[in-house]
Amino acid sequence: MVPLDKFLYKNSGKKIILLGKGELFSRDEYIGFLEQKNIKIATRLDDDVVAVIEHHRVTHMEELISCDAYVHDIPIFKMEELDELMSLSLVDEHILMSLKLRNDQKRLYQLLHNPYINDSLFLKLIPMYIWSDEQNHDSNEDRGVVIATLKRFLKVKENEQDVLFSHLSLNRLIQETQSPELLYALLYFPNYKFLQKGKKWVTLRELIALSPYIDNLTIKKLMRFRDPTIPFYLASNSATPLNILKQFVGTYHEVEIDEALASNSAIDDTIFIELLSQRGNVRDILLTYQPINSKRFELIKAMQIDEKSYEYLGYNLLIEKDVLQRLVKRNNVCLIKSLSCNPSLTSDMLDTIYKKKNSLYYPFLASNPSASQDLLESIYNISNNNQILLCALASNPSTPLYILQELFERDIFEINEALASNESLPLEFLNIFKVDTRLRNALSKNKSFITNTTHTIGM
């Protein structure tokens, strides 16, 4: 069948019958649009009627007209085609101005449910919607706006359609979207609460403040809410501009905000020095999560921090190689212990630690996936049935296969539990572990086992 727009153009001056009641536009709007195309509206079939446009819900009398049109080979178009054609002809500026002047919430609600308008217009309409004042539950209209937003922007699988009908899915939408414009529009929604893992509640605004895709406009809007929790989340977000992060330093006099800044990899050396001068958790978090280059390492040395604090530096995965080489040569036991389990170290660096011949480091070296097979074999040969060392080797995916097999043959529960979580253990052994219900938790964390099981059952 010819597309409706071309059909209307070719049949200028002719008549069309409208059957049923459209949901996206009023009857007057449908008639007005068709009259602009020089199409007249008829109420019954006659010789000048060239088509019928019908909604999927019609009255009995309208159904008879539709059947009569079919018998006479008169083209029948769906109302959705006319809806799409009219929606594409809308001028965003005209629509927005009209709604502002009239504050027509009913018309606004219709537009928000129109799947044919562009996303840009939809997001401009959201701030104009007036939400219900009900405290305990949303109105049907509020739920409708949430559903319309989820249907438009949340990508779900065919068997996940039910999630589009719950405001709780806004949590997922915020975490998945990469659109700053959508994040900004969502700030006009009620400040819903979501239960996270660990039984912690987080609000819609807090989630948006954590998004790596927020822009300056969204940040300014968040700050205007004067929500006392927002600065903490912005301070921990690496997408927050540096000039705003600097405003947080010493402004709120709250340890939590300083701790958030200390974990933020986007801070500069000025903030780094300010936080380094603090004691307690702030400094420990700073040393654990900040990128450390030669310049920052010199700042740390100049601060003359205590030897115990170096332990946190050893856990840091963002230390440049030349700094790591200097760290492994130090004789700080706390530092070397944490470096021993740091997977960012090279195998040569781990060999250097092993050569210190301190048995305190062996369990950490044995569990480090960056350790060479020669190093792991050396630890195995001196283990002397030390169960701590054997369990560490059993959990390490870099442990040579023959050692894993020998550990399996020992049939010791603690060692088996470590083996069950090891992705390098052959499936034949993992399948044997399935019969031991005590090992289910360990197996559930084994990606190799889960992938194979999922493939086997055809999921």
Q: What is the pLDDT of residues 360-413, one digit of tens each?
A: 999 999 999 999 999 999 999 999 889 999 999 999 999 999 999 999 999 999
Does one domain contain both 456 and 381? yes
Report in angstroms the alpha-carbon separations of 165 from 94, 135, 174, 202, 397.
31, 20, 16, 20, 43
At 237, give phi and psi (nearest 5°).
Answer: -95, 120
Q: Is residue 360 part of a domain?
A: no
pLDDT recorded at residue 113: 95
Domain with 275 in it: 228-290
Q: Write the CATH number for 54.
A: 3.40.50.10190
Q: Is residue 330 part of a domain?
A: no
Q: What is the DSSP string of 139-185?
A: -HHHHHHHHHHHHHH----GGGGGGGG-TTHHHHHHHH---HHHHHH
Q: Is 33 exposed, middle or buried (0-12, 13-18, 19+ CB in 10 A)?
A: middle
Q: Which residue has the tokens 């399948």?
A: 431
Does one domain contain both 84 and 99? no
Of 290, 305, 332, the position where a domain reaches its end is 290
Of 118, 153, 186, the position where a domain reaches its end is 186
Q: Is residue 194 part of a domain?
A: no
Residue type, 13: G
pLDDT recorded at residue 208: 97
Q: Is residue 404 part of a domain?
A: yes
Contact between residue 417 and residue 403 where contact means Cβ atoms under 8 Å apart: no
Does one domain contain both 129 and 174? yes
Does one domain contain both 27 and 97? no
pLDDT recorded at residue 139: 87
Does one domain contain both 102 and 160? yes
pLDDT recorded at residue 252: 67
d(CA 366, CA 298): 31
Does one domain contain both 15 and 84? yes
At 76, give phi and psi (nearest 5°).
Answer: -120, 120
Does one domain contain both 233 and 270? yes
Does one domain contain both 119 and 80? no
Sign of CA dihedral 256, 258, 261, 263: negative
Q: How many domains are there within the chain?
A: 4
7 three-class SS:
helix
Q: Which residue has the tokens 């969502």?
A: 186
pLDDT recorded at residue 134: 55
Q: Is residue 205 part of a domain?
A: no
Does one domain contain both 17 and 69? yes
pLDDT along the chain (459 residues), means of 10: 90 93 90 93 88 92 92 93 93 93 92 95 96 72 95 91 92 96 97 87 96 96 93 95 90 84 95 89 94 95 88 96 95 95 97 96 97 97 94 97 96 95 93 91 91 67
Does one domain contain both 70 and 101? no
Does one domain contain both 76 and 97? no
pLDDT in tens, 141-175: 999 999 999 999 999 988 888 999 999 999 999 99
Closest C-alpha among 27, 21, 68 to residue 45: 68
Instruction: Tokens for 398, please give them.
Output: 């870099």
Q: Is residue 121 part of a domain?
A: yes
Of 186, 212, 238, the position where a domain reaches its end is 186
Does one domain contain both 9 and 78? yes
pTM of the model: 0.82
Q: Is residue 414 part of a domain?
A: yes
Q: Is residue 217 part of a domain?
A: no
